[in-house]
Structure formats: structure tokens, C-alpha cells
Amino acid sequence: MSEREYKCPKDGNTLVLMQETEKIGSTAKITIYYKCQVCGYRKDIERLEVTRGEKGLIVKKFLY
């Protein structure tokens, strides 16, 4: 992931890197996104799906 700083397209405030985890059965979905804390604008960066399998963890990565 780059260190580039993102600005909110609506009001120009600095976006803060956040993450959100959602568990569905044996799969954890992790979404990483930038959020503007002023107006709530959200820009998704990537999503990971981590599944606990027989041979360990399986990680699927999706880029936006």
C-alpha cells in the first residue's frame, strides 16, 4: 500500500485510513478504506477474505 495522502474530493480534508472486519462463519472479510471524518466520504482501497481451511489460512485479496 502506498503512503500517498488522500484528500476528500468534497471538502479537501485529509482522509483517515480505517479498517472494518466482518466475520461470516469461518471467513473474515476485512475492508480497508479511507474515510473523511468531516463529511463521511469513504473510498475503499482493498478487501481481504481470510478463510480458515484444512491446510491453514487462505487469503484472497481484492483491489478496488
17, 38, 58, 59: which one binds Zn ion (CB under 5 A)? 38
- The distance of Cα 19 from the centroid of its chain, to the nearest Å, equals 5
With a CB cutoff of 8 Å and minimum separation 6, the contacts of 45 are 1, 17, 32, 33, 34, 63, 64
8 binds Zn ion (CB under 5 A): yes
Q: How many CB atoms lie within 10 A of CB 24?
A: 9
> Which CB sits closer to Zn ion, 34 or 36?
36
11, 21, 26, 59: which one binds Zn ion (CB under 5 A)? 11
Q: Which parts of this chain interact with Zn ion (CB under 5 A)?
A: 8, 10-11, 36, 38-39, 41
